[in-house]
Amino acid sequence: MLPPMVGRFENGVGVFYGDEEHEGRTVRARFTWMPSAESPRWEQAFSQDGGKGWETNWVMKFSRTA
């Protein structure tokens, strides 16, 4: 099991940080939740320089079916 992500919601946006294994190396990870009544969004980004720069590598957009 991976270590937990740590963060909080502030001004409606949730940002959570932790360490992940990626291609055999430990990298900093960031999960961002952006709420919306119509289409909430979640993003994952990795940093290979300790959080100075981020590369978003996964985006999920949610929508209602009815």
What is the per-residue DSSP string for 5-38? PEEEEETTEEEEEEEEEETTEEEEEEEEEE--SS
Per-residue pLDDT of the chain (66 residues), as tens digits, is 678 999 999 999 999 999 988 888 899 999 999 998 889 999 999 999 999 999 999 999 998 887
Q: 51: closest CA among 7, 1, 2?
A: 7
pLDDT in the model for residue 1: 64
What's the whole-model pTM score? 0.85
Domain edges within the chain: 6-61
Q: Are 37 and 52 in contact (CB under 8 A)?
A: no
Distance of CA 41 to the CA centre of its chain: 10
> Which pLDDT score, from 0 to 100, does residue 23 have?
86
